[in-house]
Chain A
Amino acid sequence: MTTFTGNNFGDTPVVAAQPDNYLTHGKTIGSWLFTLDHKRIGIMYLVTALLAFFIGGMLAEVIRTQLLVPQGLIFHGTGSVASSYAAYRYYNQVFTLHGIIMVFLVLIPIVPGALGNFAMPLMLGAKDVAFPKLNLISYYLYLVGAILAIVSTVLGAVDTGWTFYTPFSIQTESYVVVMVLGIFLVGFSSIFTGINFMVTIHKLRPPGMSWFRMPLFLWAIYSTSLIQVAATPVVGITFVLLMMERVMGIGIFNPALGGNPVLFQEFFWFYSHPAVYIMILPAMGIVSEIIPTFSRKHIFGYEFIALSSLAIALIGFLVWGHHIFVNGQSAELDAVFSFLTFIVAVPSAIKVWNWLATMYKGAIVLKTPMLYVLSFIVLFTIGGLTGVVLGALSEDVVLHDTYFVVGHFHYVMMGGTLIGFIAGMHYWWPKMFGRMYNETIAQWTCVVLFIGINLTFFPQLVVGAEGMPRRYASYLPVYQPYMIASTIGAYIQLVAFLTMAGYLMHSLFYGKKAPANPWGSGSLEWETASPPPHNNFETTPSVGDPYDYSDLVFDPAVNGYVHIEKPADSLAPVTATH
């Protein structure tokens, strides 16, 4: 009963440890730098994005430390207004870099680039993405963009905020051109990744895997790619125009030359609001994978979760105007955009209810990925509901540009995207590196991180509702208790993240060997060894229902789950011919 027979090829345990895997296949530096293997490219994305996350995170700690005292702890003047102005400019640079790094170098690429690249072809039972060379080009565009962003910081850090609003971004004496060029390249990386993934899902699905038999992570990746392909070119041309403004003085966005600065905001948010869904949709896909696995129960409402991803992608294109409610948009447009913003909350809520229904009466296993998913649901719900508050016109007029907005989008980005990513990283970690991390420490870290995030961002919601504006380097003393609480929360997060880095690094060298299927998941990536061989699958896996756990049992001999033979299997294995 304990042998692996899911592929009906006999009793040979296909999941036995492979002597050669993708990590050991080619050991030279060149075999990594010029690899066309989607798994290695995924690991390269993972390392680069985590490095960027570290830099962005340390900048966040600088911001929080600055705000410990009302006049600013790090950057403050010597008494005169002029000296304060000069000192606070550094603060502007710090929060700008924090925003740019986190948005463009971490949140947007990290889930599709790292986890999508690694897991998607495996989940399809495919050997690679459709265009492996394009995949590598995407990575290098991302890398060069990231390097340009750092170069611009060294030359003269940008102080515009991550939104680059004109006309200030045209006038400021910082290296906007270099920074924007870097982001332009990162944008093209994103476009190429999106095209690659969409074509892969269209054309490389194995026989038997119809659209509605795909794992939900693939639906999420597909919807994300759709946004990447359809929205990113617009911000690309917007940034080209911004560069032209600075280099040539072309005048489209410059009011001094008859241009229209609000047009920049429209263009920018036409991309940047859908980009929020580029960030959150793949995280939702991860949640949809983890919840049924750790509830030992079939996903509830498969079609609704799948199609709500597409719905979010499509409606997400129609809400950008809610960033411009108070910037001179007509009242009629305000009302339309407010309404559409409410509508986009519906498919998100559909997902949350379906996740809850999946857990209902499930045999929930509280392993680390599941714990992160539970914190995702709590944090994302807070973030989502505060978003609806901001989408309401009258409230937005009051809350616009306050810390309430900061708290809101950090709940979504940090509590949603990042926690979802971390859940996914813990979920696929054994598959990626073939090692198990220390489960106890990982679970405690999750709890500490949950406390840290709430302690950081909930006071920001309160202080914003009380009227504290965002992006200021100093504040009124009355807000100080909230700011101190928020800063303590940020330090707690730092401790949690450093612990996480510690035990994950430790697991790479000293962790227990991971079985092929440590969690008992039903999707195809768990049918191959951990870590997978260079060609992904030794034998072509058979396609079944990815959320059917009835034939998976825990086998203490391999410390993981194995398939047992099911009588009269209606889902006869369909093998692809290669």
Chain B
Amino acid sequence: MSEAIAINPTDEQVARAHLAHHFDTPQQQFDAGTLGMWMFLATEMLLFSGLFCAYAVFRATHPEVFKYAGQYLDPVSGLINALILLTSGLTMALAVRFAQTGKRVALSLCLALTMLGGVGFLAIHAKEYFDNGQAKLLWGTHYAPSVGPNGKPVAPITGLAALVAKPKPVASSGWHALKSLGKAGFVVSHSAIMPASIGPAGVAPAQKPAAVANAFQPANVQIFFGIYFLMTGLHSLHVIIGIIVIGWLLIRSLRGEFGPGYNAPVVYVGMYWGVVDMVWMFLFPLLYLIH
């Protein structure tokens, strides 16, 4: 740690300079970091697993909803995004390789390309979100499309909003605004649970004349969009974080910090980006390719 670094340090000296005091060797430090990163990525997968589990439960109990609502999504956008992420995965893997071999220009280029891929993915996804918002293909009470997936008009949903009262008016500022944050969402004066005579959602016959008019629209389609936005939203958040971290790597790479002696951050972020890619490879078929 304290040994002086020469003007042109050897890889060994660079590695020693980055060695924390409680590790014996650079290899031990790198292995510890790698193990820690794998564990962190496992917890990331577990974070998503809750959503995959919710997906599985609702798809098993409401198959008609998933088949119907899945038709709203554009598989081409999803496929393009999958290809973009796969490509960015390749450039990230190359970046790791170039960091290890000390090819600094190629490293910076690959990091920049990976960021570009991430931004492209987000742009296409933002367009999809925007279109969903326009068509009111949203979660909960916000789900109110006027057009079915086949392009034919459907009558507006009236049942949902009636079940849940509108939130109270929100006070404008300061303490009261904060106070209303906690009470955001539903404030109901009566139980929001449906009377038992209606029966469980999805099983019960359509109970309102308006719903009967949407003969081809199953009940509770809003659940699909709730899950869709949660899954893709959490994934997009990870893409954003990835872009930021890769940007930080790019700055350090342009400074010439990475080489054969020290490249651990590139390796760790490469692992992270691989997992982010992989999650999309599951999300894409689960959400866009339902038959």
Contact = CB atoms under 8 A, between A and B. Distances in A.
Interface of A: 121, 126-132, 134, 152, 155-156, 167, 170-171, 173-178, 191, 194-196, 198-200, 202-204, 229-230, 232-234, 236-238, 240-241, 244-252, 254-260, 263, 267, 576-578
A251 B192 contact: no
B230 A244 contact: yes
Contacts of A176: 182
Contacts of B33: 131
Contacts of B284: none
Nearest to A207: B24
B32 A130 contact: yes
Interface of B: 20-24, 28, 31-33, 35-36, 39-40, 42-44, 46-51, 53-54, 57-58, 61-62, 139-142, 160, 163-164, 178-179, 181-188, 192-194, 201-202, 219-220, 222-223, 226-227, 229-230, 234
A230 B230 contact: no
Nearest to B168: A173
Given A170-B185, A258-B223, 18 more contacts: A127-B22, A129-B22, A171-B188, A175-B181, A178-B182, A194-B39, A202-B35, A203-B31, A203-B32, A204-B32, A229-B39, A230-B46, A249-B142, A249-B164, A249-B186, A256-B194, A257-B226, A258-B220
Contact of B182 (A128, A130, A156, A199): A156
A251 B179 contact: no
A208 to B, nearest CB: 14
Contacts of A202: 32, 35
Contacts of A178: 181-182
A152 B20 CA distance: 40
Contacts of B164: 249, 256-257
Contacts of A238: 50
22 contacts: A131-B32, A156-B183, A175-B183, A195-B39, A195-B43, A204-B22, A229-B39, A233-B46, A233-B49, A237-B234, A246-B186, A248-B140, A248-B185, A249-B139, A249-B141, A252-B223, A252-B230, A254-B186, A257-B164, A257-B222, A257-B223, A578-B24
A170 B226 CA distance: 16
A167 B36 contact: no
A155 B178 contact: yes
Contacts of A256: 163-164, 186, 192-194
B36 A131 contact: yes
Contacts of B179: 155-156
A381 B195 CA distance: 45
Contact of A576 (B24, B44, B48): B24
B50 A128 contact: no
A230 B38 CA distance: 12
B141 A191 contact: no
A255 B194 contact: yes
Contact of A250 (B48, B140, B181, B194): B140
B47 A250 contact: no
Q: Which of B46, B223, B229 has the most CB of A within 10 A?
A: B46
A94 to B, nearest CB: 18
Given A128-B22, A577-B24, A258 B47 contact: no
Given A255-B193, A256-B194, A199 B46 contact: no
B230 A170 contact: no
B219 A258 contact: yes
Given A255-B194, A257-B164, A247 B58 contact: no
B242 to A, nearest CB: 18
Contacts of A258: 62, 201-202, 219-220, 222-223
A229 B184 contact: no
A13 to B, nearest CB: 26
A233 B48 CA distance: 9
Nearest to B39: A195
A236 B40 CA distance: 14
Nearest to B183: A173
A174 B187 CA distance: 10
Contacts of A177: 181-182, 184
B140 A234 contact: no
A251 B222 contact: yes
Contacts of B32: 130-131, 199-200, 202-204
A278 to B, nearest CB: 14
A245 B141 CA distance: 12
A250 B43 contact: no
Contacts of B43: 191, 195, 229-230, 232-233
Nearest to A263: B57
Contacts of A200: 32
Smallest CB-CB A-B distances: 8 pairs: A258-B220, A175-B182, A237-B50, A233-B46, A256-B192, A127-B22, A249-B140, A246-B185
A576 to B, nearest CB: 7
